[in-house]
Structure formats: structure tokens, C-alpha cells
Structure 1
Amino acid sequence: MSNLLERITVDPSICHGKACVRHMRWPVEVIIDLIASGMSFDDILNDHPELEKEDILASLSYAKISLSGKTLEEVN
């Protein structure tokens, strides 16, 4: 899982410091919203070719860690 989590970055100069995918302006919360809206991984990847399947999996892993009360630093 830690390899996937390397795809999640936090940079104060990108999206107000929210957890994002690979220093892009793709906050984890937006990826989770896309999944919650019913989009499949394939739908997301077809609509947003800059994303990779591993980015979606990393976002889900990050969300799980956040809900557990841990931080990204504690896991990496």
C-alpha cells in the first residue's frame, strides 16, 4: 500500500494544501466524489486520461487511512 500512497502529495501551493494526486490539481476528495457519483474506474480514466488506475487506488487508500485517524506520515 505504501507504494500507492507515494502518489498522494500535499503541497501548500497546490489546491490549498489538500491531499492531491501526483502534484496535480486533482484532490483526493474529487476522486472520491467521482466514485461516489457512480462512475466506474474505466469511466473516470476515459474522461480524465491524465489519471491512472493507481491514482484512484491511492486515493481510496488515502481515504481509508484518513478515516482510521492516521496521517500519511504515520503510514509512510
Structure 2
Amino acid sequence: MENLLNRITLNPEICHGKPTIRNKRYTVELILDLLSAGMTESEILKDYPALENEDIKACLAYASKITKSKSYFKTA
């Protein structure tokens, strides 16, 4: 998983410092939004040919790591 996470970059000069893929202008947020909207990995890769399958996996790994941190949402 750590190897995948190396694909996620934080650079204040790119996309206002949001997490991006390999210092490109593709944010983790964009990929997660596309997946949650129902796009498949192959559809995303077709629409964004600069991306690789491992980039999508890296976004999912990053999201997983973030959700493991302490949550500040109120619980019911």
C-alpha cells in the first residue's frame, strides 16, 4: 500500500495543494467522485489517458488511510 501512496502528491503549486496524482492536475477528489458516480476504472482510464490503473488504486488507498484517522463527526 505504501508504494501506491507514493503516487499521491501534495504540492502547494498544483491544485492549491490538494492531493493529486503524480504531481499532475488530477486530484484524488476527482477520481473518487468519478468512481462514486458509477464510472468504472476502465472508463476513467479511457477518458484520462495520462492516468494508470495504479493511480486509481492509489486514490482508493489514500482515501482508506484518511478514513482511519480520528473522525471529527458527531456519532449518533
TM-score norm. by structure 1 comes to 0.89
Query: Whole-Å Cα distance in 2 between the matches of residues 14 and 48 of structure 1?
Result: 18
> Which one-letter code corresponds to 1:15 in the other structure?
C
Map of 2:29 onto structure 1: 29
Is 2:17 the counterpart of 1:17?
yes
User: CA deviation digits over 1:4-32, x for unaligned, max 9?
Assistant: 01100000010110110000011101000
More helix by share: 1
Structure 2 stretches of 5 or more lacking a match?
A: 71-76
**Which structure has the bigger radius of gyration?**
2
Moved over 6 A (4+): none
Aligned length, in residue pairs = 70
Say which SS state the counterpart of residue 34 (structure 1) adopts.
Answer: helix
TM-score w.r.t. the length of structure 2 is 0.89
Q: In percent, how many aligned pairs have the same letter?
A: 51
**Does 1 or 2 have the higher relative contact order (CA < 8 Å, sep 6+)?**
1
Give the superposed CA RMSD. Answer: 1.0
The answer for unaligned runs of 5 or more in structure 1 is 71-76
